[in-house]
Amino acid sequence: MTDILKIKEVIKNSQKVTIISHYSPDGDALASQLALARGLEQIEIEISLINKDPIPDAYQFLKNWECIKPLEEIPDFASVIICVDCATWERTGYLKEQLIGEKTIVINIDHHISNTNFGHLNWVDPNAAATAELIYDLLGLLQVKIDKIIATSIYTGISTDTGSFLYENTTATTHIVVADLINRGADINLVRNSYYENINISKINLLKYGLNNLSFSVDNQVCWVAFTRDVFNNANATDADGEGLINHLKSISGVEVAIIFRETTSDTIKLSFRSKKWADVNQLASKYGGGGHPRAAGCTITGNLDSVVDGVINWVVQSIAQGGTSKFGWDNKCT
Amino acid sequence: MTDILKIKEVIKNSQKVTIISHYSPDGDALASQLALARGLEQIEIEISLINKDPIPDAYQFLKNWECIKPLEEIPDFASVIICVDCATWERTGYLKEQLIGEKTIVINIDHHISNTNFGHLNWVDPNAAATAELIYDLLGLLQVKIDKIIATSIYTGISTDTGSFLYENTTATTHIVVADLINRGADINLVRNSYYENINISKINLLKYGLNNLSFSVDNQVCWVAFTRDVFNNANATDADGEGLINHLKSISGVEVAIIFRETTSDTIKLSFRSKKWADVNQLASKYGGGGHPRAAGCTITGNLDSVVDGVINWVVQSIAQGGTSKFGWDNKCT
């Protein structure tokens, strides 16, 4: 049971609301926060915005991004906390006791299928292309006018979370919402120029390294790149610069599973997985204590980079070799 | 004056129609041809499909692509010829006398602003994101049912001609049309898997070469790569494999003008230009006898690769150095 109407009532009766999203924030997280904040300010609600991690440069074109602060810099937060785009409370990056008191009401608005309904009130719709699509609905329900700035934010959340309308989560509704956002003044040229066509040299250097160091196996069905810390350091690259690289691997003809290994400390390796059609990489990442979606998942493994690469690739290759449509030996839920 | 209603009448009264598009066909050209053909077959019109150049592998997922033939393989063509996505008759790649007789009616359906209205009847709408968007309107006018296959074709034309809804030509109408196409069964997963995520190794190798050989000037505002014939030969790459590479250059932070030089014979260099915000590359290409749009243009220069690169870059750099918003010394029509 989705608590849409209760959420509307709680918000309308609030004087102050805190909006929080997830650590390592992406476009949908930030856009949802900022669009909701600007919308609620229109109906005289005081807003504070909290995020564990800094706003990546790539999203600093979003109006008022600098209003999002870490908890330590917020003098006072509200007893109504809206979590946007967080599948679990832990995704906020904060312990519950840091933000939730006896009287706190937690509202959970999200589109991840893995959402745990951790809020007191929950609006979780896995059919939405982005959390920002739900914010569009919520603002409509609250009869808030979607102005040019809100429209641009929501457009950004939807556009970035769908890979510019390419991913499977894109629906007819997504395009209808976007048509309305453009009619309301969404600045799609700003988003293109500031995000899609504003790739810094660090990111280009990571891509260059990646293309120069592609590895393939199982008739090119598996493609991977391993990044040492030195590669990132030499490219002067951040975590955010590494985002999206894996899509280049996945987009190669015949590749079904793309993997990026990244050494973050001398014995910690972060792995990202993507799949194209049939492989359930959520289950692959789960084997190593991670998770995500069937087409996009991640995990962290303790060990030396070379040995982690060898171990994971050997296992993936063996699993595919065992064959069939359930090529990892799992039930294939994705076809 | 657009001849929409006359075009509708001529088509409805035809028993046979030939549909032709342009040489070096792209997604919009092929998708428009195939969608229109399938639509007209529904109303009992016999169709022949002519194109000067072969269908690139990247578009061979489009249903019935193999029905498009060069003129030499068409036994009999119609007296009603519909040109789609051709700005001029010359873009068909054929001389007029090869296809046009005394009684031939030429219908010209296109979205290029540079269209010369070369048809006997012309439907040219530069506000359309793609010619396929006009085909959608035409089929509606003809009361043809847009089935799953037609919807997938039209979606392909729109998606590829807008760079997946990123380019300036994307409007609210574009998204509304696409929402309807998805509701009619457009297979967006097929398009993603077959086109966007089906990049062959030749193309990856060209991109790798490009990133390894980037040149910059004027505070990184100008970025270029020069490809010798050997690079293409060694990568086993075709013209079509080179498409899209320039967008990687343009997407780099601070780059305003991106240029790719490609040696096609020992003394023929093909140039592609793209600009991001203000530079009118149509005028730049015009200086060398080429043309296009303010943001995308091309030309061919006779000469040795190194000397052509030196000449063009020197001139672009000098022009920008002369400064102002009209940095090429032209009136800037694009801001």
Distance CA B47, CA A182 (A): 38
User: Does position B178 have pLDDT exceeding 80, yes or no?
Assistant: yes
Spatial strand order in the sheet of B16-20: B68-69, B46-50, B16-20, B80-84, B105-110, B121-124
Is A202 within 8 Å of chain B by CB?
no
pLDDT in tens, A8-65: 999 999 999 999 999 999 999 999 999 999 999 999 999 999 999 999 999 999 999 9
Contact A34, A51 (CB under 8 A): no
Residues B184 and B226 in one domain: no
State chain A's mean pLDDT as an integer.
Answer: 92
Query: CB distance A199–B166 less than 8 Å?
Result: no
Interface with B, mutate which of A57, A175, A278 (most B CBs under 10 A): A175
3-state DSSP of chain A: CCCHHHHHHHHHCCCEEEEECCCCCCHHHHHHHHHHHHHHHHCCCEEEEECCCCCCHHHCCCCCHHHEECHHHCCCCCCEEEEECCCCHHHHCCCHHHHCCCCCEEEEEECCCCCCCCCCEEEECCCCCCHHHHHHHHHHHCCCCCCHHHHHHHHHHHHHHCCCCCCCCCCHHHHHHHHHHHHCCCCHHHHHHHHHCCECHHHHHHHHHHHHCCEEECCCCEEEEEECHHHHHHCCCCHHHHCCHHHHHHCECCCCEEEEEEEEECCEEEEEEEECCCCCHHHHHHHCCCEECCCEEEEEEECCHHHHHHHHHHHHHHHHHCCCCCCCCCCCCCC
Interface with B, mutate which of A136, A165, A177, A181 (most B CBs under 10 A): A165
Residues A171 and A260 in one domain: no
To the nearest whole percent, how much of chain B has pLDDT over 70?
A: 96
* Residue B12, SS3 per DSSP: helix
| Structure confidence at residue B332 (pLDDT) | 35
Structural domain contains residue B334? no
User: Does position B291 have pLDDT exceeding 90, yes or no?
Assistant: no
Contact A184, A151 (CB under 8 A): yes
Residues A205 and A311 in one domain: yes
How close is the nearest chain B Cα to the Cα of A126, in Å? 18
Query: CB distance B173–A179 less than 8 Å?
Result: yes
Residues B164 and B220 in one domain: no
Alpha carbon separation from A33 to A128, A132, A156, A314 (Å, rounded): 16, 9, 12, 42
Residues B188 and B269 in one domain: no
Residues A40 and A161 in one domain: yes
Supply A19's token pair.
Answer: 């909006």
User: Does position A328 have pLDDT exceeding 70, yes or no?
Assistant: no
Q: Write down the ipTM of this complex.
A: 0.91
User: Does position A246 have pLDDT exceeding 70, yes or no?
Assistant: yes
Residue range A190-205: mean pLDDT, rounded: 95
pLDDT in tens, A268-290: 999 999 999 888 888 888 889 98
Closest residue in A to B189 (Cα) is A168
Per the structure, the complete domain to which residue A315 belongs is given by: 201-321
- Closest Cβ–Cβ partner in B175, B193, B196 for A182: B175
User: Does position B327 have pLDDT exceeding 50, yes or no?
Assistant: no
Q: How many domains does chain A have?
A: 2
To the nearest whole percent, how much of chain A has pLDDT over 90?
A: 82
Contact B84, B19 (CB under 8 A): yes
Structural domain contains residue B327? no
Task: Give residue B323's pLDDT band: very low, low, confident or very high (50, 70, 90).
Answer: low
**Domain with A110 in it: what CATH number?**
3.90.1640.10
How close is the nearest chain A Cα to the Cα of B263, in Å? 23
| Structure confidence at residue A282 (pLDDT) | 84
Task: Give residue A329's pLDDT band: very low, low, confident or very high (50, 70, 90).
Answer: very low
Contact B71, B94 (CB under 8 A): yes
Contact B266, B301 (CB under 8 A): no
Alpha carbon separation from B263 to A63, A69, A259, B213, B283 (Å, rounded): 45, 53, 36, 15, 22
Distance in angstroms between the alpha carbons of the first and the last residue of chain A: 28
Structural domain contains residue B329? no
| Structure confidence at residue B326 (pLDDT) | 43
Structural domain contains residue B335? no
**DSSP one-letter string for B64-85:** TGGGEE-GGG-S---SEEEEES
Q: What is the dihedral of CA B206, B209, B213, B217, to 10 degrees?
A: 20
Structural domain contains residue B333? no
Task: Give residue B335's pLDDT band: very low, low, confident or very high (50, 70, 90).
Answer: very low
User: Does position A118 have pLDDT exceeding 80, yes or no?
Assistant: yes
Task: Give residue B240's pLDDT band: very low, low, confident or very high (50, 70, 90).
Answer: confident
Structural domain contains residue A74? yes
Q: What is the dihedral of CA B176, B178, B184, B188, to 10 degrees?
A: -150
State chain B's mean pLDDT as an integer.
Answer: 92
- Region for residue B58 given its phi and psi (left: phi exceeds 0; alpha: psi -120 to 50; beta: otherwise): alpha
Residues A187 and A270 in one domain: no
Residues A191 and A230 in one domain: no
Task: Give residue B1's pLDDT band: very low, low, confident or very high (50, 70, 90).
Answer: low
Residues A121 and A210 in one domain: no
User: Which among B146, B162, B196 is the end of a domain?
Assistant: B196
> Lowest-pLDDT range, A85-99, A150-164, A181-195, B308-322?
B308-322
Task: Give residue A66's pLDDT band: very low, low, confident or very high (50, 70, 90).
Answer: very high
Distance CA B154, CA B156 (A): 5
Distance CA A174, CA B103 (A): 47
Side-chain half-sphere CA neighbours of B236 within 13 A: 3
Pairing of strands B46-50, B16-20: parallel
Residues B157 and B243 in one domain: no
Structural domain contains residue A335? no
> Lowest-pLDDT range, A75-79, A83-87, A328-332?
A328-332
Residue range A153-163: mean pLDDT, rounded: 97
User: Does position B333 have pLDDT exceeding 60, yes or no?
Assistant: no
Is B252 within 8 Å of chain A by CB?
yes
Query: CB distance A166–B164 less than 8 Å?
Result: yes
User: Which among B172, B196, B220 is the end of a domain?
Assistant: B196
Residue range A211-218: mean pLDDT, rounded: 96
User: Which among A175, A196, A217 is the end of a domain?
Assistant: A196
Interface with A, mutate which of B191, B253, B334 (most A CBs under 10 A): B253
Residues B177 and B282 in one domain: no
| Structure confidence at residue B324 (pLDDT) | 36
Amino acid, res. B324: G
- Closest Cβ–Cβ partner in B168, B198, B251 for A189: B168
**Domain with B220 in it: what CATH number?**
3.10.310.30
- Closest Cβ–Cβ partner in B164, B179, B204 for A176: B179
Structural domain contains residue A334? no
User: Which range is most confident: B109-113, B223-227, B277-281?
Assistant: B223-227
User: Does position A325 have pLDDT exceeding 80, yes or no?
Assistant: no
User: Does position A157 have pLDDT exceeding 50, yes or no?
Assistant: yes
Residues B279 and B174 in one domain: no
| Structure confidence at residue A113 (pLDDT) | 85
Pairing of strands B222-227, B257-265: parallel
| Structure confidence at residue A323 (pLDDT) | 55
